[in-house]
């Protein structure tokens, strides 16, 4: 029993320390973004890496997500004779929920893991120490541009996801299953409100922040050797994904 309490205490302390450390990392990173955001070229590079290079995977995921929504939505709505509402169902699902969340999860897998691995390798090969010995602030080169890049890139990717997904649903619903194209877009236009759009934007901005924050943190404090980097990368992907889903619930309950 005593051993169990011991372990529980140890775990609680570790959790509190980790949370404190992560939070102070975020506060320091935000402070550095305000005081020395880094060269625009570094931010552009991150926009290219996180944004442009994720385009294909986002396009592919969005197409099939929209198509599945079109297929599932059609047969469900057909039971109630409301196939005309398909456009609204696909658009609302994508704009409010699936767009931001799936974009964030895809970016986590593609770019978040790479960010952790890059910073982790720089740490274990003393490249971060080399920056410090040159009297340069590592956050300015490694963390700030990535956070700014992710916060800009993820909402843009989410917008692409939404549009591509809606056309995916259109292809299946209208072209394959025969829903009236006018009804598809008209119902969508009637149902989607500005609130749905900005809640999606707010979600994707915060998801961009979570991905870059967790990925940079895990890389910066990666353990020793290749195994340390590999563990940090796995932890970054798992933690980012879980945090995205938890944060999504809180945001949805606030923004609804």
Partner 1 sequence: MKTVIGSALNVLRKTTGMLRAAQRPQNGSAMISLVNVTKAFDSQVVLNKLNLEITTGKITSIIGPSGEGKSVLLKHMIGLLKPDKGEVVVDGEVISSMRGSVLNEAREKFGMLFQNAALFDSMTVFQNVAFPLEEKTRLSPAQIRDRVHEALAHVGLKGIDKKYPDMLSGGMKKRVGLARALLLNPKIILFDEPTTGLDPIICRAIHQLIKDTHKRFGYTAVIVSHEIPQIFDISDDVAMLYKGEIIEKGTAKDIRQSTHPVVRQFITGSLDGPIRMVT
Give contact residues for partner 1 (rule: CB under 8 A). 35, 118, 121-122, 125-127, 129-130, 132-137
- Nearer to partner 1 by C-beta: 90 or 119? 119
Provide CB contacts within 8 A for 129, sequence distance 6+: none
Give dist(CA 238, CA 231) in Å, integer: 11
Give dist(CA 138, CA 134) in Å, integer: 10
Q: Do residues 255 and 202 lie in contact, with contact meaning Cβ atoms separated by under 8 Å?
A: yes
Closest distance of CB 84 from partner 1, Å: 53
Smallest Cα–Cα separation from 248: which of 104, 116, 107? 104
- Nearer to partner 1 by C-beta: 69 or 117? 117
Q: Do residues 145 and 46 lie in contact, with contact meaning Cβ atoms separated by under 8 Å?
A: yes
Work out the angle at residue 210's Cα, subtended by the Cα atoms of residues 229 and 110, and round it to the nearest 5 degrees: 55
Closest distance of CB 80 from partner 1, Å: 56
Closest distance of CB 220 from partner 1, Å: 15
Closest distance of CB 14 from partner 1, Å: 15
Closest distance of CB 133 from partner 1, Å: 4
- Nearer to partner 1 by C-beta: 122 or 158? 122
Closest distance of CB 132 from partner 1, Å: 6
- Nearer to partner 1 by C-beta: 38 or 208? 38
- Nearer to partner 1 by C-beta: 121 or 205? 121
Closest distance of CB 130 from partner 1, Å: 4
Give dist(CA 170, CA 150) in Å, integer: 30
- Nearer to partner 1 by C-beta: 53 or 186? 53
- Nearer to partner 1 by C-beta: 12 or 35? 35
Give dist(CA 245, CA 117) in Å, integer: 23
Task: DSSP letter for 199, please.
Answer: H
Q: Alpha carbon of 198 to those of 24, 96, 195, 252: distances in Å? A: 29, 9, 5, 12
Burial of 80 (0-12, 13-18, 19+ CB in 10 A): exposed
Task: DSSP letter for 177, please.
Answer: T
Smallest Cα–Cα separation from 254: which of 206, 213, 210? 206
């Amino acid at each position: 029993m005593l051993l169990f309490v011991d372990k529980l205490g140890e775990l609680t302390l570790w959790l509190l320390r980790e949370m404190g450390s992560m939070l102070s990392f975020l506060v320091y990173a935000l402070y550095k973004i305000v005081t020395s955001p880094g060269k625009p070229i570094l931010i552009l590079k991150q926009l290219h890496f996180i944004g442009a290079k994720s385009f294909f995977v986002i396009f592919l995921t969005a197409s099939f997500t929209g198509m599945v929504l079109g297929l599932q939505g059609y047969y469900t709505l057909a039971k109630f004779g409301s196939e005309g509402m398909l456009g609204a169902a696909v658009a609302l699902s994508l704009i409010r929920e699936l767009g931001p969340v799936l974009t964030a999860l895809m970016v986590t897998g593609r770019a978040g893991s790479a960010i952790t691995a890059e910073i982790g390798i720089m740490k274990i090969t003393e490249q971060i120490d080399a920056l410090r010995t040159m009297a340069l602030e590592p956050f300015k080169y490694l963390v700030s541009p990535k956070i700014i890049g992710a916060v800009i890139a993820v909402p843009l990717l989410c917008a692409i996801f939404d549009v591509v997904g809606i056309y995916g649903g259109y292809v299946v619903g209208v072209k394959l299953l025969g829903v009236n194209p006018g009804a598809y877009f008209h119902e969508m236009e009637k149902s989607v409100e500005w609130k749905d759009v900005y809640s999606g934007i707010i979600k994707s901005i915060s998801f961009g922040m979570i991905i870059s924050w967790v990925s940079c943190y895990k890389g910066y404090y990666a353990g020793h050797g290749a195994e340390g980097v590999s563990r940090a990368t796995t932890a970054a992907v798992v933690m980012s994904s879980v945090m995205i889903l938890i944060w999504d619930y809180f945001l949805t309950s606030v923004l609804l």
